[in-house]
């Protein structure tokens, strides 16, 4: 399709008209020359056929004269002579006489050849060539037509043949039947071996006329070429006249209209623009219609521009991201919020549409694919690459056939809502567990104290060698473990008021790391501090914040029984007005299914007796009381990262 498209798009109307007219003229001249050539060729063939018929009529007359008059007379004369049974070939053989006459005509410049041949000749010079051999086969197969005529191509020449079969007649048997009955003179000349044994009605041979058509056909070809050239040369003047007329009446007016269209399209001329009407012919009517169309188009353009501005202002006024996207995922219309959103959320939200994982049923790509497949609206939540939560809605716009032409994409950021919901759930859990813990600890504490008291009394009263002393020690140790658990419950349930003072977080972190460094080093754990010196002082409860980071460090140590590295880093984010502290270890990591549970009270992955599952819950509550947040990132086998963000308050906020 590239060739025709190029022809239609690049060639101008005048050139196409000229090429089409030229092609028609050439085809007309070529067709006329071809018809003339065919007509003249048929005339030459018919004339050649008539000439051949005349020659055959002459040969038949000569043969009839020899057979009916000359040969009987010669036999009567020869029979009275002493030889009695002689045979004079030149006077008595019709074949010899025919060949002799044709040779005389050939010497006089005749343009034909005469053949009288057979495949069993008495005279070897009359042996049939390959063409006549094929014709003998043709007639012997049952073709009883009186003659065959046609053109044969031999050695690059075209030759017209008229071939007539020669059948054995009764008068022929005297010389071609039984050799014992043949004239003695004939036998003396040719012997008995050849030219005998024919039966009446049998095909003896062929008589043909060959006339060369090549000279005549070459002349006809030259005539046809001359006619074509003369016709083409003559139509050239007609073509020039037609082209000039077309250019005057159609070409120039259309060119002016094209230039006007191009200027309007490029913005060089603004609508409405009137073109002058020179003549009220078809071109003039088209120009008049263009002027009317330009007026209406200008009015529609102004209305559309006004509506587009109003619509864009309405869309831009929407604070949530809103866009009109194409089926391939590319946006065609989008508001300012959507532009800001996709700029801050790389890669593009709908990038790679049609190539997403089919299992991820709540991605923007899959939701768009569902809209395109069903033609109905689709909504769902999605967690973006920026780790924020979004509620998305896709509303299809259908065209006349009922297919989705475009889709309205609406996005609402629900990160704060989701986090608030999670925090509320966590706080509700902590409150419920705190109440439960306080009640359980109160009820267990007194009996537990009695157990510890009597265990110590028993251990004191029993002799040193008594076998029950070890059992009493087991009771004492386990009661002490229960006491620690109860104290932890009471501490969790009786979290006191937060006492915030202005302090430097980095100093407290350095002090905490110094307290545990030797103990950690003995366990093969290296502590690395990357504390930002630019972190400002802000208000927090040092004792309780120290408890948070001590819990995180101890948990990191327990996650690395074979040793490793713990990195503590702080970063101040002035734009977010918070200090971010990251505690990263190289331990075993946390399974994905446990990430949402680690801040729940009493949830622990440690072995029994090595933890209560309250440390992270208490840390979560302390950070929330400070108005901050604590999150975790972990990959199994690649360590865990806890991130604590504490708000930095200004002096003005503190005073207020």
Secondary structure (H, E, C), 514-527: HHHHHHHHHCCEEE
Residue 246 lies in a domain: no
ω into 338 cis (within 30 of 0): no
Specify whether 82 is located in the same domain as 114: yes
Integer-rounded Cα Rg, in Å, for the chain is 60
CATH number at residue 394: 3.30.450.20
Same domain, 389 and 509: no
Same structural domain, 436 and 560: no
Residue 202 within a domain: yes
- Whether 250 maps to a domain, the answer reads no
Among residues 313, 345, 365, the one where a domain terminates is: 313
Q: Which of 51, 55, 41, 53 lies closest to 151 in space, CA to CA?
A: 41
User: Of 173-182, 197-206, 428-437, 613-622, which gets the smallest average pLDDT?
Assistant: 428-437
**Both tokens of residue 553?**
């460090």
Do 286 and 342 lie in one domain? The reply is no
Query: Do 285 and 322 reside in the same domain of the chain?
Result: no
In a domain, 243, yes or no: no
| 342 shares a domain with 285 | no
Residues 177 and 195 in one domain: yes
Report the CATH number at residue 441. 1.10.287.130
Q: What is the pTM of this model?
A: 0.35
**Where does a domain end: 493, 520, 548?**
493
Angle at 43 between CA 40 and CA 48, to 5 degrees: 125
Nearest Cα to Cα of residue 379 among 389, 392, 369, 370: 392
Q: Which pLDDT score is estimated for 357?
A: 43
H or E stretch including 179? none
In-domain check, residue 229: no
- Mean pLDDT of all residues in the chain? 77
Domain region containing 459:
419-493
pLDDT in tens, 474-525: 787 777 767 766 666 556 555 556 788 999 999 999 998 988 888 899 889 9
pLDDT of 652: 42
More confident residue, 253 or 129: 129
* 616/507 same-domain check: yes
- Is the pLDDT at 8 greater than 50, yes or no? no
Do residues 609 and 531 share a domain? yes
155-213 confidence digits (pLDDT tens): 778 888 888 888 887 777 777 777 777 776 677 667 677 777 788 878 888 888 888 88
In a domain, 86, yes or no: yes
In a domain, 254, yes or no: no
Q: Which residues does 625 contact at the CB level (< 8 Å), separation at least 6?
A: 498, 544
426 and 532 belong to one structural domain: no
> How many domains does the chain contain in total?
5
- 40 and 161 inside one domain: yes
CATH of the domain at 632: 3.30.565.10
304 with 331, same domain?
A: no
pLDDT, tens only, 440-476 = 665 676 677 778 787 788 778 788 788 887 888 878 7
pLDDT at 192: 72
């Amino acid at each position: 399709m590239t060739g025709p498209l190029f022809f239609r798009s690049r060639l101008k109307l005048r050139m196409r008209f000229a090429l089409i007219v030229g092609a028609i003229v050439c085809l007309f001249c070529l067709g006329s020359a071809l018809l003339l050539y065919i007509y003249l060729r048929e005339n030459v063939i018919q004339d050649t056929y008539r000439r051949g018929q005349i020659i055959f009529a002459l040969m038949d007359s000569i043969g009839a004269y020899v057979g009916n008059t000359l040969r009987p007379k010669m036999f009567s004369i020869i029979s009275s002579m002493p030889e009695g049974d002689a045979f004079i070939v030149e006077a008595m053989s019709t074949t010899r006489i025919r060949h002799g006459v044709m040779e005389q005509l050939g010497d006089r410049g005749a343009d034909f050849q005469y053949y009288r041949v057979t495949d069993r000749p008495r005279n070897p010079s009359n042996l049939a060539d390959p063409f006549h051999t094929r014709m003998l086969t043709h007639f012997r197969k049952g073709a009883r037509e009186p003659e065959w005529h046609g053109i044969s191509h031999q050695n690059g020449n075209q030759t017209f043949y008229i071939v007539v079969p020669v059948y054995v007649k009764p008068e022929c048997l005297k010389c071609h039947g039984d050799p014992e009955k043949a004239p003695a003179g004939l036998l003396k000349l040719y012997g008995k071996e050849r030219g005998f044994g024919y039966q009446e009605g049998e095909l003896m041979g062929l008589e043909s006329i060959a006339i060369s058509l090549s000279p005549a056909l070459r002349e006809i070809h030259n005539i046809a070429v001359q006619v074509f050239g003369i016709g083409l040369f003559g139509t050239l003047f007609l073509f020039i006249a037609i082209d000039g007329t077309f250019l005057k009446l159609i070409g120039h007016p259309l060119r002016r209209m094209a230039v006007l269209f191009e200027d309007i399209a490029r913005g060089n001329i603004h609508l409405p623009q009137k073109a002058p009407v020179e003549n009220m012919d078809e071109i003039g009517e088209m120009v008049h219609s263009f002027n009317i169309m330009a007026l209406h188009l200008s009015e529609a353009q102004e209305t559309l521009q006004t509506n587009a501005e109003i619509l864009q202002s309405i869309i831009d006024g929407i604070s949530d991201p809103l866009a009109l996207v194409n089926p391939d995922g590319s946006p065609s219309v989008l508001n300012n919020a959507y532009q800001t959103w996709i700029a801050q959320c790389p890669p593009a939200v709908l990038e790679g549409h049609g190539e997403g994982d089919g299992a991820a049923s709540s991605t923007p790509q899959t939701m768009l694919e569902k809209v395109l497949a069903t033609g109905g609206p689709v909504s769902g939540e999605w967690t973006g690459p920026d780790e924020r939560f979004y509620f998305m809605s896709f509303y299809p716009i259908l065209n006349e056939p009922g297919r989705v032409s475009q889709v309205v994409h609406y996005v609402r950021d629900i990160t704060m809502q989701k986090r608030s919901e999670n925090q509320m759930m966590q706080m509700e859990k902590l409150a419920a567990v705190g109440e439960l813990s306080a009640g359980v600890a109160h009820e267990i504490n007194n009996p537990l104290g009695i157990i510890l008291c009597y265990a110590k009394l028993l251990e004191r009263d029993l002799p040193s060698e008594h076998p029950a002393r070890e059992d009493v020690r087991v009771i004492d140790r386990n009661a002490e473990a229960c006491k620690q658990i109860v104290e932890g419950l009471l501490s969790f349930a009786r979290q006191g008021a937060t006492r915030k003072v202005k302090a430097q977080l980095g100093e407290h972190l350095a002090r905490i790391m110094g307290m545990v460094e030797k103990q950690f080093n003995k366990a093969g754990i290296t502590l690395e501090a990357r504390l930002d010196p630019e972190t400002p002082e802000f208000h927090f409860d040092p004792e309780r914040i120290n408890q948070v980071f001590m819990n995180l460090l101890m948990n990191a140590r327990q996650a690395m029984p074979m040793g490793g590295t713990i990195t503590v880093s702080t970063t101040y984010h002035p734009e977010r007005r918070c200090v971010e502290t990251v505690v990263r270890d190289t331990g075993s990591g946390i399974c994905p299914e446990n990430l949402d549970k680690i801040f729940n009270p009493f949830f622990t992955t440690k072995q029994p007796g090595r933890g209560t599952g309250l440390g992270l819950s208490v840390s979560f509550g302390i950070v929330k009381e400070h108005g901050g947040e604590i999150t975790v990132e972990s990959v199994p086998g690649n360590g865990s990262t806890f991130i604590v963000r504490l708000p930095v308050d200004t002096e003005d906020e503190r005073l207020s």
